[in-house]
Structure 1
Amino acid sequence: MNGRTKISMAVIRRLPKYHRYLKDLLDRDIKRISSKELSDIIGFTASQIRQDLNNFGGFGQQGYGYNVEELYYEIGKILGLDKTYNTIIVGAGNLGQALANYTNFDKSGFHVKALFDINPKVFGIKIRDIEIKDMDYVGPFIKENDIDIAILCTNKDSAQEVAEILVSNGIKAIWNFAPTDLRVPDDVVVENVHLVESLLTLTYLYRSDE
C-alpha cells in the first residue's frame, strides 16, 4: 500500500468525508479554510483534522490554513481518484440494478462495464446502456475488459462461490453487499456494506435516545 499500511482504518474512513466537504467548499468558491473552520463544518476537532492530514505529509500553512482546491485534489489522489476503474456488478436484482443506475459512479471514475446474473430471463436487458450478461462468461469478460473492481450483490448462499470465481479470474478488489463475510486471499481487498447491520445500528441509536 505504498507506505500507508501503518495508517489506521479510522483515519482512512474519514478521508472520503473530507473529500466530500471540500467539494462543497469548492462549489461555493471558497479558496482557503483553517482547520478550525473545517472543524466547524465537518464536526471533527481541529486537532484531529491536522493529525489526520499530517499522516500524508500535511497540507496547511501556519497563518494561512488550507488551500481548498489543492487539499481536495491531494486527498483525491490519496483515495485513488486520479485514476479510473473498470467495474462489474455481479447480481442483477433490485440492488444491482439500482447501483447500475447510479450516475455518480461514472463521475467519480468508476465505470460499470456490465452486470452479471444467473437468471436467463434478464440476459440482454440494459440498465443505462449497461447490459446484463450470463454469469458463465464473467471470467473472459474480466480479462478482456481489464476489470479492476467487482461489486457483489448476490444472496448470502452464493456469495462465497461467486467471490472465488471473481478472484480466480484476477479480481483484487470486491465491494461486497452480500450479507456475509467473504474468505479471500490476503492480496484481495474487500469492503463490506452490510445494509441490515447498518440499519440495526440506527435502531440501537434511536432506541438509546428514548
Structure 2
Amino acid sequence: MNRDFSNVSMAVIRRLPKYHRYLKDLLEKEVYRISSRELSKLIGFTASQIRQDLNCFGGFGQQGYGYNVEELYQEIGKILGLNKTYTTVIIGAGNLGQAIANYPSFIKYGFKLMGLFDINPKLIGMKIRDIDILDLDYLEEYISKNKVEIGIICTPKEVAQEVAERLADSNVKGIWNFAPVDIKVPKEIIVENVHLSESLFILSYLLNEKENLQG
C-alpha cells in the first residue's frame, strides 16, 4: 500500500539518511534495541526531535521498550526508496564523474550505473568498473533504449543547463546535479543539487567564527 508522506517537511526528510546510517552502524555492532535517549547521544538530535521525526511516518517505538533497530532501519530504507532499483547514467566522466562511478555504496543501495558520457575523445571508449564511457552524442538514444531513470551531472557549469534539458527531454525522472549552478527543468523532474563548494564555505565560516571567538 502506498503511503502519503507529502506533508512531511523537507527538514525531516533530510534527517532520514542520518538515521539510516546510524541504525546500520548499530546493526553491525549487533545492537537490536535502542531508546530515543540512547539514539540521541549517538546522532546529536534531541530525544524529543527523534520521536517527533519518526512519528511523522507512523508508530515505530514502544513505550518502555524503545525502537527495534532492524525494523526501524528497514522501514526508513523503504521510506527513502532504497528497496527499489534505479537505472542511472553519469554525464561528465572526469575526476568527479569517475569518483562517483567508483563509489562502493552506489549499487548497494539500488542505483544501477548503466553508462558514462563525455565529449573528451581521450575518455570515450575507456571503462570504469567495466562500464563504457560513451560519446555524449548518443545520450538520448541510450536513455530511451535502456529506460534510464536518473541522470547525474558532473559537467562544468557552462554546459550543465544544456545537459539538464537533454535529460529532461529524454524523460528521466530525476537529476543529481554536481555542477556548481542551479539548473532549471520541468517541475515533474526531481532535482537534487549538490554544491560541494557551499559545504566547504560553511566549514570555512565555522573555522573563522571559532578563531574570532578565541581571538
| TM-score normalised over the length of structure 1 | 0.97
Aligned to 1:96: 97
Aligned to 2:132: 131
**Is the contact between residue 50 and residue 58 of structure 1 (CA under 8 Å) also seen in structure 2?**
no
Distance 1:62 1:144 in 2: 52
Any gaps of 5 or more consecutive residues in structure 2?
none
Q: SS at the partner of 1:150?
A: strand
Q: SS at the partner of 2:192?
A: strand
| TM-score normalised over the length of structure 2 | 0.95
Aligned to 1:6: 7
Q: SS at the partner of 1:147?
A: coil
Aligned to 2:147: 146
Q: SS at the partner of 1:184?
A: coil
Distance 2:126 2:155 in 1: 18
Aligned to 1:194: 195
Aligned residue runs from structure 1 range 166-177, under 5 A? 166-177=167-178
Q: How far 1:3 sits from its partner (Å)? A: 2.4
Distance 2:76 2:180 in 1: 30
Q: How far 1:2 sits from its partner (Å)? A: 5.4
Distance 2:121 2:3 in 1: 43
Distance 2:167 2:161 in 1: 10
Q: SS at the partner of 2:15?
A: helix
Aligned to 1:74: 75
**Is the contact between residue 31 and residue 67 of structure 1 (CA under 8 Å) also seen in structure 2?**
yes
Pair 1:57 & 2:72 matched: no
Pair 1:29 & 2:43 matched: no
2:73 maps to a residue whose letter is Y
Distance 1:104 1:128 in 2: 13
2:195 maps to a residue whose letter is H
Q: SS at the partner of 1:71?
A: helix
Aligned to 1:164: 165
Aligned to 1:121: 122
Aligned residues, how many? 210
Pair 1:45 & 2:46 matched: yes
- Give % identity: 66
